[in-house]
Homo-oligomer: A and B are copies of this chain.
């Protein structure tokens, strides 16, 4: 076991490198999510609401099922936050035309406004990091993050991100 950690062993360096990549992701995500929280608190909303606002904003007329697929939570969990957002007039739903069982979700103007406020602070942080790191680094950042996504879903997700 001590052998594995010996600095003569290339595996040690490799493991350290991976650990660093993991911790960086933890810290970056921790701070990245902290910005919108204070804004959300003013509305009595949480991160779950933010995620819904974000993905509904990005995907107007998204169905409940699609949204569930993105968020990977149960419909009961989604229902709770969605009900709040509907009651607050931040999200609106319309019956699907092709399939009238579907409830297609979109942001209201008020919802879009809040979403923009939330995006703004998050984008500011990302913009700063991009600026400091440079275009080449940004390409690498994206490449690695893509590789971290589950392989079987990656294609679908990338399309949903880049399309539009």
Chain A residues within 8 Å of B, Cβ to Cβ: 14-15, 17-32, 34, 51, 58, 72, 119, 122-123, 125-130, 132-134, 136-150, 153, 157, 161-162
Contacts of A130 in B (CB 8 A): 17-18, 21, 144, 147
Q: Is the interface of A mostly helix, strand, loop or mixed?
A: helix
Contact status of A24 and B146, CB under 8 A, knowing A18-B130, A19-B119, A30-B72 = yes
Contact assessment for B25 and A32 in the assembled complex, using a CB-CB cutoff below 8 Å: yes
The complex places the Cα of A122 from the Cα of B148 at a distance, in Å, of: 10
Most chain B C-beta atoms within 10 Å of own C-beta, residue among A27, A51, A148: A148
Contact assessment for A20 and B141 in the assembled complex, using a CB-CB cutoff below 8 Å: no
The complex places the Cα of A150 from the Cα of B14 at a distance, in Å, of: 27
Contact status of A128 and B141, CB under 8 A, knowing A19-B58, A123-B22 = no
Contacts of A72 in B (CB 8 A): 30
Most chain B C-beta atoms within 10 Å of own C-beta, residue among A20, A26, A136: A26
Partner of A21, one of B21, B138, B157: B138
Contacts of A145 in B (CB 8 A): 24-25, 27-28, 129, 141
